[in-house]
Amino acid sequence: MGLITSIIGRRGLGWYLAMGTTAAVLAMSIQLLANVLDSGTQTVTYLMGNWPTPFGIGYVVDPLNASVLVIVSIISAVVTLYARKSVASEIAHNRLHFFYALWLFCITGLLGITITGDAFNLYVLLEISSLSTYTLVALGRNRNRRALTAAINYLVLGSIGACFYLLGIAYLYMVTGSLNIADIHNILVNKVFPTWGTDAPQYRTTVIAGFAFMSVGLSLKLALFPLHGWLPNAYTYSPSAVSALLASTATKVGAYVFIRVIFTLVGVNFAYTVLHTDTVLMISAGAAILFGSWMAFRQTNVKKLLAYSSLGQIGYITLGFALGNVGGLTASVIHLFNHALTKGGMFLALGVVAYRTGHTRLKDLQGLGRKLPLTMAAFTAGGLGLIGVPLTAGFISKWYLVSSCIEAGRYEMAAIVLIGSMIALLYTWKVVETIYFGKRDENAPVVKEAPVTMLVPVLLLAGGSIYFGIDASLTSRVATAAAHFLLGGAP
Amino acid sequence: MQIVFDYYNYWICIILMMVGFYGVIAKTNLVKKALSLSLFQTGILVFYISIGKVEGGTAPVLDKSVDNPVYSNPLPHALMLTAIVVGVATLAVAMAIIVNIRERYGTIDEQDLEQLEHETQD
């Protein structure tokens, strides 16, 4: 268990170290998930330096973050395997070890955010992963200089988001005098909230202001609809492997932190019943689904299309936890996993196109179905997953989402999910049609199938997204456990 | 007026943060933007440090010569050391990216950059 920490502070000495580390982390996090699900209390804790938790910093693992850990480590291991060839073609050779050092820092930060039980520690790890992400995005400069402006834009917005989160913790610290998430929750629920019904409500404004700052900050990190400005360009212009890693882990971890803050820090009762945050989140989520899908349809650069589609998928995830019932949370957690597989696979497949042709514009994909049969089949499988066709992973999460929308009496949100899927059908069809029915330019350079180390990850993720669409028992068991844990632990 | 003087530390934080925030939004020069971001972070640092102050408290060093000493809360100070490091790192990364932008585009003004990107659709 404590071995998870061993990745912290590790400097990458090249691809081999990165690969070894991510593979080891994958094995450990799967083991951890199994442990958590088997243990009676459903939590595993690790105290750093053996200091008891309100004083020391503890790692707390419950079904929710164990599953997010597995998502992050699966994606990072698979993408690292892929990165070797892909990154070597996009970054100068004498800088490669720096790339892998940043890469590991980023993954460390993401895993750390997921596992920590301390609100301030979470901020520090958030900044570790964000700072390395800004740099990784900027490394796309060799192919397109717009990576630089995308990176600075992301840096400014990301830092403001992190600062807002930090300010939010300051307010909660003023009220509770604690930084441990479970401890803050206990103090709020047992000492602060009961006074609100009386004539002398304590710290009401302070807690509300703190939660508001944290929500806005995290929405920025998560790229929830009105605060998504940094996302499309950052995903489009970063190196292929980085896009895949970001799209399938970074925003997922943002969503996880938001779930954590709402359900285990301030409590669902405060967030949804007292403050009606759920209404705000649902409006943003609905807008994100419609806007993201529509903008995706309008793009001519396929990478940007996928980036906007991610925006819509973030909307689905947010909608899931905004519903606040067991079904919605289950849908949210399942979609975290399924979307990570689907979108990761699609970005990797697109990375193969970039590796072979140097571009990701729609017209460069014309007729590639015959040249890159396996890669393009994987891409299409991912696209079907985005629409939510039965027998793909996307179907499972949308099924849960729509049925829990109806269960909560939110018929309009169910309708928005379905409309979003229709638009996804349009934009996926646009790409698939180009791939299979487009005529390849006579003068276009000859394109071969991807090298093995790139092909295997693409097929793994695409295969995974189909496997978990056919046999969803594993994912839904884990997600249901997480949802019950969150709502059972909440007052 | 009472509320201004009683809570002057908070007012200073608010002013610092808002000056920084205004700069981040309104300035088009990227260096000024990055510095404003730094100012914004400083506002938060001051906020944390001021909430750790205990009335009449001294520095939290164990002093056996004084009976029942009152100490300021050292925890926010320790937290802010970390946050300062994060702030420095952010500024450094921002500056490195800005230098790169200057090399590739020849300008660090946001409006010029937007125009350049608009002209070259790639």
Per-residue pLDDT of chain A (491 residues; tens, 9 = 90+): 334 444 444 444 567 777 777 777 777 778 777 777 776 666 677 776 666 666 777 788 888 888 888 888 888 888 888 888 887 777 777 777 778 878 888 888 888 888 888 888 899 999 989 999 999 998 888 777 888 888 999 999 999 999 999 999 999 888 888 888 888 888 888 888 887 777 777 788 888 888 999 999 999 988 888 888 888 888 888 888 889 888 888 888 989 999 988 888 888 888 888 888 888 888 899 999 999 898 888 888 888 898 999 988 899 999 988 888 888 888 888 888 888 888 888 898 888 888 887 778 887 777 777 778 888 888 888 888 888 888 888 888 888 888 888 888 888 888 888 898 889 888 888 888 888 887 776 666 667 777 778 888 888 888 888 888 888 788 888 888 888 888 874 43
The answer to whether the CB atoms of A134 and B89 lie below 8 A apart is no
**A138–B41 CB contact, under 8 Å:** no
Q: Which residues of B touch A131 (CB under 8 A)?
A: 86, 89-90, 93
- For A184, A202, A291, the CA distances from A206, given in Å and listed in that order, are 14, 9, 34
Task: Compute and round to an integer the Cα radius of gyration of chain A.
Answer: 22
Nearest residue in chain A measured CA to CA from B17:
A163
What is the predicted ipTM?
0.90
Domain boundaries defined on chain A: 276-491
Find the closest chain A residue to B49 by CA distance. Answer: A170
Distance from the B94 Cα atom to the nearest Cα atom in chain A, whole angstroms: 7
Residues from B in contact with A at Cβ < 8 Å = 21, 24, 30, 33-34, 37, 40-41, 44, 47-48, 51, 75-76, 79, 82-83, 86, 89-90, 93-94, 96-98, 100-101, 104-105, 113, 117, 122
- Cα dihedral angle (A325, A331, A337, A342), rounded to 10 degrees? -150
The domains of chain B, with CATH numbers, are 2-53+70-119 (1.10.287.3510)
Residue A48: predicted pLDDT: 67
Q: Are A160 and B40 in contact (CB under 8 A)?
A: yes
Q: A275-284: list long-range contacts, CB under 8 Å, 24+ apart.
A: A275/A208, A275/A211, A277/A211, A277/A215, A277/A322, A278/A322, A278/A323, A278/A324, A281/A224, A281/A318, A281/A319, A281/A321, A281/A322, A282/A319, A282/A322, A282/A323, A282/A410, A282/A413, A284/A219, A284/A224, A284/A225, A284/A226, A284/A315, A284/A318
